[in-house]
Every structure is written in C-alpha cells, then in structure tokens.
A = this chain, B = another copy of it.
Amino acid sequence: MEITIVGGGLVGSLAACIFGQKGHKVQLYESRPDPNSAAGKLLRGRSINLALSNRGRATLRRAGLEELVLSKAIPMRGRMLHGQNGSVKAVLYDPVANQVGATCQRSTPCIYSVSRRYLNELLLQEAAALPNVSVNFNCKLIDADAGKGLAKFRKKDDDSSEEETLVEKRSDLIIGADGAHSALRQTLLKRPMTNFSQKYIQHGYIELYIPATDKGEFALEKNHLHIWPRDRFMLIALPNLDGSFTVTLFMPFEIFDTLNTEEKVLTFFDGQFPDAVPLLGRKNLCHDFLTTKPSTLISISCCPMNGGKAVLVGDAAHAMVPFYGQGMNAGFEDILILEEIIPNSDLSSGAGVEKYLEQFSTARSSDAQAICELAMYNYEEMRHLVNQKSYYWRRMIDIGLNKLLGQVWTPLYTSVTFSATPYSKCIENKKWQDKVISKMYAYMTVAVGASVATYLVSRYQRESLTDLVVKWGREMLQQKL
C-alpha cells in the first residue's frame, strides 16, 4: 500500500526503513532541510545523546541495522554516582554480568550512548536507498484529512528559498512521527472522543561539554552513565565516541534564573559538582551556561493514537521527560508493534487499515501512558532517591530475589530497559513486588513479636497479664537505670 510518513526524525526514518523493506510505497516528508545540505549542516538540533536499550535495539534489528549502530555506540554498564565531596560509586545494571574485567557482550544488560545526529542520518540514508522509498525535505504539514488519508504540505522550493509549493498526497496510511509538537496530531485532536494532555514540568535543562583529555582519552570512566544527584537538580554525562562527554544539567527554572553571573555560576558548580568543574573547564562552563537559555521538558499523552487512516507514533503520541532514557526506545517499539499488527496480506490494497490502527492504539495507549509516568517518576529516583539508604536496601532485595527467582522477580528498571515486557505490565509487576515486600516486612514483624511473646509467656506462665506487663516495665526501667 501507499504510506505517507510525516516527520523524518529518528522514529519516522526508521519507520520508512521498516515499511519500505516490506515493499510498501513510502513517501517521507520532513520539514527541515536535508542534513547533508549546507543549510542542514548548520542546524544544531536537539540534545546530542541518546541511550539506546533493548526495545530500540529490537526494531533496529528488524531493519537489519542493530550491529551497525551498536558498533558506533558506547556501552554503559551502570550508573556512576558522584557525591558532593567528589566520591564516586558505581551502581551496575547487572552486578554479575557487568563485573570488572568482563567483556561487554551484546546480551549483557547495558545501555548504549549513541549520537542522535549520526543515528538520524544513518536511518534517513538507509531509507532513501530503498527504491520504493522517497524522502522529501523542506515539507511542512499544514493540514490533513485522516478519514480520506489526505495530507497537505507546504514545500520550500529549496533550502534558502522563500517560494513555496503546495503538495497534496493521498495514501492508504499516514504515520505521524512529527514529534512533540506534531501538526498531524492537531488535526486528529478535532475528532470527537480524543483525549489529550500536554504538561511542562517546572524543570529545564542546558547542555554542557567535557572534552577528551589532551591525550585524547575519556576524562571520566568511559562505560558508565555519570550522575551527580543533588535532590532538587542533577547533572548527567554520557560518553561520545571521540572521548568527550555530553553533560546535561536538569534543574528548576527558578534556580537557573538566579545563576546569572560568572561568579554565581562558579560558586554553584564548585559547591555542587566540584569534581566536574575542572573537566568542564571554568571558562567554557561559564560561557556555555550564560549564553544558553534552558530548554523546556514536556510530557504528552494522546488517546486514541489513531484516527481514520492516520496514526501517531513516537513523541507525537507520547513525548516524555527524558529520565528513563526510553523516549526513542518507546518510539522505535511503536514501529515494531505497528508493523506486526498490519498483516502482510494487505500489502497492496491498504484495505481495512483503519481497523488495524485501532488495534494498534488499543494495544499501545496504556503502555504509552505508563512509560510517560515512569519517566516522570525516574527523575525523582535519579536526582533524589539514589541519595537515600532505602534505595540501596530495595535494590539489594531486588537483585537477590531476581537471582533466586529469575524472571518471576524482575526489578522495574530491568524490565523497562532490558526486556520487551509491555510498559504497563512493568508497572503492574512493580506494584505486586511492593506488596510482597511489605507483606514480608509484616511477617517478619509478626515473627519477631511472636518470639518475644513466647519467651515472656514461658517465663511468667502463671502470673496474670497485668502483673506481667507491670513487672516487665519495671525490669526495663531497672536495666536502664
């Protein structure tokens, strides 16, 4: 059938690869210029780093691109937590598989730091190389009629041109991969019974940079996601292939607003992230910090994700805050699920596509909602909970029970990041685990209480209960005095 893909970001371009490989006739429209053109090379684009994990890898594998991408990515075996006194502590995703000295296998629970720009260009290139896929840049969606499968674009005649042509395209399926501010979604929101929410959090972020050392080496331990958790805010760093780290500071806007001079910025960083300052470089840090406006973070939920012959995927349907590292992974997983739902027999006709899109939305909406919520929750975990003792107790229990019971007891982070378990099921499991653990505590309390009672009764068997309590109280007092 004929497929129109709106948006040539990560999810849209991978969708073009997957549906193109299946033999569909795919037209991809992207509002930005070709990244290889002069204008495209100037575009800075969004955050440079991505954390690729199992769900994203599964879709890349389907497109035959997993190995190529992983070969250009850096595995991260766990979190490296940086204390305020400069101390560091590694918290590995799987302490056994990731022990020091072990080689990082493709099956080892690792997440992969990969460059957004590299990955996007690769996917666009792979899509464009298919004979039945055509990629159109400088095309901005201005209207759509999902019922008719009609999409209208305004096409700039060339990168620098002000001249525009109107392009109308009718197809059997429109895939909206046009991001958090999706124009296709705007048209779907007018359909009745479409629920939608967009929520900005009161925290923003800016990107900073740790260059490679003079010897071209990594300035921090290479195979970790570095975190400086400080309760109300946090700094993170992800490795790049060239030995540098991309550093991101997440913080309430109200704190950003107060840091408006070099002196205040340095005082803040020296106090909070003393070990990071020399690596960032005081001059570059101040320059980057003071010349960058913090970016906003948005969470989007749209249900249903479909309407007529159109469907939303990725950020267009479920933009999330970046704290679970699942934005791209969830978007890629959308494509895998969509591709599995649309049967091969409809390859040519496009008949009944509405029905399959409904199935997709029914299957996917609650998971999309779930990962958006988890992402919001993980900000709390990353910047605050990891500073609490209870977090490590729970982690020890989780790891112990996981080793003992296997898949029956998969910790939340593991099931989200290293499995294909539906996100909503991951949350259900976590709730069940929480219940089991509080019951365990309750049983332990009862067991301890019963032991004490048994001892007391055996000791004071024939005395009355009131006397017993009074006597016990006296003894306690005497021991204390």
Supposing A464-B464, A466-B464, A466-B465 touch, asked if A195 and B189 sit within 8 A by C-beta, the answer is: no
CB closest chain-B residue, reference A189: B198
Q: A296 touching B464 by the CB < 8 A rule?
A: no
Residues of B within 8 A of A196 (CB): 196-198
A200 touches B192 (CB 8 A): yes
Complex contact A197–B194 (CB within 8 A):
no
Partner of A465, one of B197, B199, B465: B465
Answer yes or no: A186 CB below 8 A from chain B CBs: yes
Interface residues contributed by chain A, number (CB under 8 Å) = 18
Judging by beta carbons under 8 Å apart, are A296 and B200 in contact? no
| Closest B residue by C-beta to A198 | B196
- Asked whether, in the complex, the Cβ of B199 is within 8 Å of the Cβ of A195, the reply is yes
Residue A467 lies at the interface, judged by CB distance under 8 Å to chain B: yes
Whether A193 sits at the interface, judged by CB under 8 Å, is yes
- Distance in angstroms from A300 CB to nearest chain B CB is 10
Give the complex CA separation of A35 and B29 in angstroms. 44
Residues of B within 8 A of A193 (CB): 200, 296
Q: Which of A156-195 contact B (CB under 8 A)?
A: 181, 186, 189-190, 192-195
Please report the C-alpha to C-alpha distance between residue A195 and residue B198 in the assembled complex, in whole angstroms: 5
> Shortest Cβ distance from A268 into chain B, in angstroms?
23
Q: Bound state CA distance, A197 and B369, in angstroms?
A: 14
Partner of A186, one of B186, B464, B465, B466: B186
Tell me the nearest residue of chain B to A295, going by C-beta: B192
* Residues in B neighbouring A192, C-beta threshold 8 A: 200, 296
Q: Chain B contacts of A198 at CB under 8 A?
A: 189, 194-197
Instruction: Return chain B residues, CB-CB under 8 Å to A194.
Output: 198, 200
Q: With a CB–CB cut-off of 8 A, which chain B residues contact A465?
A: 464-466
* Chain B nearest Cβ from A51, distance in angstroms: 25
CB distance from A397 to the nearest CB of B (A): 35
Bits for A190-224, please: 1 = Cβ < 8 Å to B, else 0. 10111111111000000000000000000000000
A169 and B116 CA atoms in complex are apart in Å by 43
User: What is the CA–CA distance of A198 and B188 in the complex, to the nearest angstrom?
Assistant: 13
A431 CA to B293 CA, complexed, in Å: 41
B residues less than 8 Å from A181 (CB atoms) = 190
Once bound together, how far apart are the Cα atoms of A195 and B192, in whole Å? 20
- Distance between Cα atoms of A225 and B336 in the complex (Å): 54
Nearest B residue (CB) for A302: B198
A450-481 interface with B by 8 A CB criterion? 464-467
State the CA gap A200–B195 with chains docked (Å). Answer: 6
When C-beta atoms are compared, the residue in chain B nearest to A467 turns out to be: B464
Give chain A interface residues in 370-397, CB to chain B under 8 Å.
none
CA distance A197 to B298 in the complex (A): 13
Q: Once bound together, how far apart are the Cα atoms of A193 and B296, in whole Å?
A: 7
Docked pose: A197 CA to B194 CA in angstroms: 11
- Smallest Cβ distance from A306 to chain B, in angstroms? 15
A200 surroundings in chain B (CB, below 8 A): 192-195
Q: Contact string, A114-138, partner B, CB cutoff 8 A, digits 1/0?
A: 0000000000000000000000000
In the bound assembly, the distance between CA atoms of A98 and B338 in angstroms comes to 61
A157 to B339, CA, bound (A): 49
* CB neighbours of A464 from chain B (8 A): 464-467
CB-CB < 8 A to A186: which residues of B?
A: 186
Contacts of A466 in B (CB 8 A): 464-466
Cα–Cα distance between A196 and B200 once the two chains are bound (Å): 9
CA distance A146 to B186 in the complex (A): 19
A189 to B189, CA, bound (A): 13
A-B pairs, top 5 by smallest CB distance, nearest first, are A197-B197, A465-B466, A464-B464, A193-B200, A195-B199
- A sample of 14 inter-chain contacts (CB < 8 A) reads A192-B200, A192-B296, A193-B200, A193-B296, A194-B198, A194-B200, A195-B197, A196-B196, A196-B197, A197-B199, A464-B464, A464-B465, A464-B467, A466-B466
Known: A192-B200, A196-B197. 6 other contacts (CB 8 A): A193-B200, A193-B296, A195-B197, A196-B196, A197-B198, A465-B465
